[in-house]
């Protein structure tokens, strides 16, 4: 029997607990679900061995110290940690160990703000990467040699994988299982964990309401709420400006200042978000979905999905259909 696939998860003080336990559970369920093949051996490695206090206050018992890891690492998983102000914690000693261990690891995967540690170790230079949306701007500013995409659930660049925020760690782990053992096992694991049946990495890590933080103007906030409940209405810039009792040009300036996007971009994103929910939870024909969301025609629905999600409505439905 071949040696198990050795997954080493780095743990350190104040590490995010779910970043560690989420992937570990996916690999554990994969071991139970597989028939044949190489099982996973998940090992927690810490600075000195012993116990590590996580951000949740729960203590984790490590299996070995960083010095004991050795050269046989099939997958290195690097979770993250943030300080009291929400800034990624970058420990130079940890970064040095990651850089050294990655040299002989089969692949490296960061979870959430762990991407900042990979970047500090020089592992993301010249690559595209993602991280938690709340720290994406900081990652881009601190490491201009990294192409940061804040939207996907996970990104693969060669043998380096980066995952988005919090629960996306399990989607990333599912993708690793799929690479090792195929889609059938990954889907079995997803079903067991009551997860989406394997979300593709390109799916957005947040929906429209989360994507844009509240602005200063209450009237624009109320308009945004009205838009999401009236998607089939005339939501042109002219109609919205009239509703706000502003000139179209002034309205466009105010809306962009408050949201960072044009009215047209916001409306399309809201309509695509609604279409996604209908595709996930109903059997309505594409024409009815397009009409209900204000996109008008199947052709417009296709264009919007291609532009925003990089897929077609039919392909999206096949992946994410959740209703019985």
Token pair 């970043």 in the structure block, residue: 19
pLDDT at 210 over 60: no
Question: Sorting pLDDT into bands at 50, 70 and 90, what band is 284?
Answer: very high
Q: What is the pLDDT of residues 226-261, one digit of tens each?
A: 998 899 999 999 999 999 999 999 999 999 988 888
Q: What is the pLDDT of residues 19-38, one digit of tens each?
A: 999 999 999 999 999 987 78
Question: Sorting pLDDT into bands at 50, 70 and 90, what band is 13?
Answer: very high
Question: Sorting pLDDT into bands at 50, 70 and 90, what band is 214?
Answer: low
DSSP-assigned letters across all residues of 31-66: HHH-SSSPPEEEEEEESSSSEEE-TTS-EEE-SEEG
Q: What is the pLDDT of residues 110-127, one digit of tens each?
A: 999 999 999 999 999 999
DSSP-assigned letters across all residues of 77-134: EE---B-TTSPBP--HHHHHHHHHHHTTEEEEEE-TTHHHHHHHTTSSTTSEE---GG
Per-residue b or e along 297-317, where b marks 16 or more CB atoms closer than 10 Å to that residue's CB: ebeebbebbeebbebebeebb
Q: How far apart are the first and last CA of the chain?
A: 41
Question: Sorting pLDDT into bands at 50, 70 and 90, what band is 168?
Answer: confident
Lowest mean pLDDT among 148-162, 181-195, 291-305: 181-195
pLDDT at 95 over 70: yes
Q: What pLDDT sits at residue 201?
A: 53
Contact 90, 120 (CB under 8 A): yes
Of 114, 126, 133, 282, nearest to 207 by C-alpha is: 133
Return the percentage of the chain with pLDDT > 70, whole number. 92
Contact 155, 130 (CB under 8 A): yes
From 112, 169, 245, 293, active-site residue: 112
What H or E segment, with its residue span, contains residue 156?
strand 154-157
Task: Give CA–CA dist 119/58, Å, rounded.
Answer: 27
The dihedrals phi and psi of 274, each to the nearest 5 degrees, come to -65, -40
pLDDT at 81 over 90: yes
Contact 263, 240 (CB under 8 A): yes
The dihedrals phi and psi of 138, each to the nearest 5 degrees, come to -65, -40
Q: What is the pLDDT of residues 315-324, one digit of tens each?
A: 888 866 643 3
Active site residue 169: no
Q: Mean pLDDT, to the nearest integer, of 282-286?
A: 92
Q: What pLDDT sits at residue 303?
A: 93
- Domains of the chain and CATH, by start: 5-193 (3.40.50.880), 218-320 (1.10.10.60)
């Amino acid at each position: 029997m071949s040696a198990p696939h050795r997954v080493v998860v780095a743990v350190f003080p104040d590490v995010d607990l779910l970043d560690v336990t989420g992937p570990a559970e996916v690999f554990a369920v994969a071991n139970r679900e597989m028939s044949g093949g190489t099982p996973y051996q998940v090992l927690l490695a810490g600075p000195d061995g012993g116990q590590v206090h996580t951000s949740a206050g729960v203590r984790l018992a490590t299996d070995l110290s960083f010095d004991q890891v050795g050269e046989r690492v099939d997958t290195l998983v690097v979770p993250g940690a943030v300080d009291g102000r929400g800034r990624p914690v970058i420990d130079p000693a940890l970064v040095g160990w990651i850089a050294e261990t990655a040299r002989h690891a089969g692949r490296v995967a960061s979870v959430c703000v762990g991407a900042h540690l990979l970047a500090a170790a020089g592992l993301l230079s010249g690559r595209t990467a993602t991280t938690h949306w709340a720290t994406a701007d900081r990652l881009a500013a601190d490491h201009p040699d990294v192409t940061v995409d804040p939207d996907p659930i996970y990104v693969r660049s060669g043998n380096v994988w980066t995952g988005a925020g919090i629960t996306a760690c399990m989607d990333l782990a599912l993708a690793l299982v799929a690479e090792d053992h195929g889609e059938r096992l990954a889907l079995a694991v997803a079903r067991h964990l009551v997860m989406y049946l394997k979300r593709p990495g390109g799916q957005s890590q947040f929906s429209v309401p989360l994507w844009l933080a509240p602005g200063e103007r209450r009237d624009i906030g109320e308009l945004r709420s009205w838009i999401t409940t009236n998607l089939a209405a005339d939501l042109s810039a002219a109609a919205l400006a009239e509703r706000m009792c502003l000139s179209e040009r002034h309205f466009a300036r105010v809306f962009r200042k408050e949201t960072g996007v044009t009215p047209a971009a916001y409306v399309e994103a809201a309509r695509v978000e609604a279409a996604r929910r209908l595709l996930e939870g109903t059997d309505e024909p594409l024409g009815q979905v397009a009409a209900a969301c204000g996109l008008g025609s199947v052709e417009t629905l296709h264009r919007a999905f291609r532009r925003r999600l990089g897929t077609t409505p039919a392909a999206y439905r096949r992946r994410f259909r959740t209703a019985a």
